[in-house]
Structure 1
Amino acid sequence: MGREFIPLFDNWAESYDNTVAGQDIQYREVFRNYNKILSDVVKHSGFNVLEFGVGTGNLTAKLAAAGKQVIGIEPSKTMREIAKQKLPEDVVVIDGDFIDFPSPPFSPDTIVSSYAFHHLTNQEKREAIKQYGKILNEHGKIVFADTVFKDHKAFIAAIENAKKKGFYQLAEDLETEHYPTISEMEAIFTSEYFRITFQQYNDFAWVMEAVKMKT
């Protein structure tokens, strides 16, 4: 459920915003166009938004600034504390993860996340999407920004390229976590009656917009 990565989140919390701003050269390409990526997630979202993997609250803050009603789910206490410093008092960020989370106080029309869904195995991803399909009404949306690869060959090439550049932390990250391919994400979403589209923003990051279809 991604909770095995909580120590990583806690350790990364203080420097996360510097990383997404491009100050860590190893992750500069991963987060290139970061503000546009988050802004486009907001643009494709409805009014009642449930966000998973809030992190330090960057996407949450943009959703709130756009007038959305948003509740955030974040398993790392350290990340939650940083996020709360950025957010309006009426924006709630609570403990939980993609699969184990409290029922939201409203009926969401959109479920969002940024740079977090890859912490789940493909089996866990499918379990999560199945839950979201029960929460969302027809035409409800899932809008996720995350690292995805066109195919397994592109994934292996990314690891080899990272090592070639001496980006060993990035290479270890790619080898340790659960980064999916486009076809894997398509299979997961379509099996739960979502129609999904993909838009690429850099060599790593895509925004995936999935619309719930009539079952």
Structure 2
Amino acid sequence: MRIKEVADRLNTTTRTIRLYEEKGLLSPAKSRTNRYREFTEQDVWRIQAILSLREAGMNLADIGHALAQWERSEAEELRHSLELQRASLVEQWLELKQVIETTEGMIATLEAEQSLPLERIFELAEQSRRWKRQRGKWTDKWGFDQLAPTHDERVKARLDGYEDYEELLDCIFTYTLPVEDEHGLDIGIGTGNLAARFLEAGCRMSGVDQSREMLKRCRSKHPDIETKVGNFLALPYLEKQFDFVVTSFAFRHLTAEQHLLALEEMLRVLKPGGRLCIGDRLDEDEQQRLALWLIKHNFRPQVHRVNDTLSILIAVEGVDIEDA
């Protein structure tokens, strides 16, 4: 096929196809007689793949990397590339959502007061900038990819701060009060040890983790758990997806300001009437600060001590725990 035929078939332009050639993503053969480009079905498939990945927001450099993985049948590598792209798009979407909410706040102030004081503009804009900075600061400072191969052995041996690991996971499961067929999310799922308890109780489970190696081990152990690359500050899900959200031994890795942004994300993906349960080493001041924030957002929190250092923060939207 000639370039014009390919462009018409794929509803694109010859200019676009030539750009892909210039960037090294395509190398169609040239006819020996007239030196025109001759596109094979494999070339057409490749162009279609490029167009699809561009539609998903991937840049041309990353597309070249993804196509190489695809052609080498490196499914795990390609999956990871696509997951990273999805995580990036979620962050961009959340930032745009924050801009929209900031604009909405300005409009609401203007309608209520018939004016828009500069200090109110500065306040709304600063909040938007602050959340953007916090998301931008997220990096893997803890090396969980390197820790993943020995994680289960270390928690079983109660090493590295995991002395009460099983006890905390049991308490989170108990206080969450799971019901069969509910859909739950485990943030910082690791190798899936907490999520497995809910899976065994008949719940459908999803899990988010920043560590590729942790997720690989989780999928190997528990193929029925849906896993996604992500973190507390940008959960790769739309609003109101889950009946409950849980996390263990992960919340402590966030800063105080990131705690509140993480709570916003957890509440965003919870269904109306949903519940969240955080199990970790949080001091009393931090527990009180988080509890007050949850109360302001129509959640009724309670704190339960597991031992001298570990605690559970459980909250249900709109009702007291005893009534849930």
Task: State the TM-score, normalizing by the size of structure 2.
Answer: 0.50
CA contact (8 A) 1:198 1:209 kept: yes
Q: Which amino acid aligns with 1:128?
A: A
Q: Which amino acid aligns with 1:191?
A: K
CA distance in 2: counterparts of 1:60 and 1:128, whole angstroms: 19
Following superposition, the deviation at residue 10 of structure 1 comes to 1.7
Q: 2:206: which partner in 1?
A: 71
CA distance in 2: counterparts of 1:148 and 1:7, whole angstroms: 18
Query: 1:174-213 alignment to 2 at 5 Å?
Result: 181-213=286-318
Q: 2:178: which partner in 1?
A: 45
Q: Deviations over 1:55-109 (max 9, x none)?
A: 111011111111101111111001101111210x332111011121222698211
CA contact (8 A) 1:64 1:70 kept: yes
What secondary structure does 1:139 align onto? strand
Q: 1:60: which partner in 2?
A: 195
Question: For the pair shown, which has the larger CA radius of gyration, 1 or 2?
Answer: 2
- Per the alignment, do residues 32 and 51 of structure 1 end up closer, same or farther by CA in structure 2, a change over 3 Å counting? closer
- Per the alignment, do residues 29 and 123 of structure 1 end up closer, same or farther by CA in structure 2, a change over 3 Å counting? same
Q: Which amino acid aligns with 1:210?
A: A
CA contact (8 A) 1:74 1:97 kept: yes
Task: State the TM-score, normalizing by the size of structure 1.
Answer: 0.73
**Does 2:251 correspond to 1:130?**
no
Q: 2:145: which partner in 1?
A: 10
Larger relative contact order (CA 8 Å, sep ≥ 6): 1
The correspondence for 1:102, drawn from 227, 231, 236, is 236
Richer in helix (by share): 2
- Per the alignment, do residues 28 and 50 of structure 1 end up closer, same or farther by CA in structure 2, a change over 3 Å counting? closer
CA distance in 1: counterparts of 2:236 and 2:224, whole angstroms: 17
CA contact (8 A) 2:198 2:205 kept: yes
- What is the percentage of aligned positions where both structures have the same residue? 24
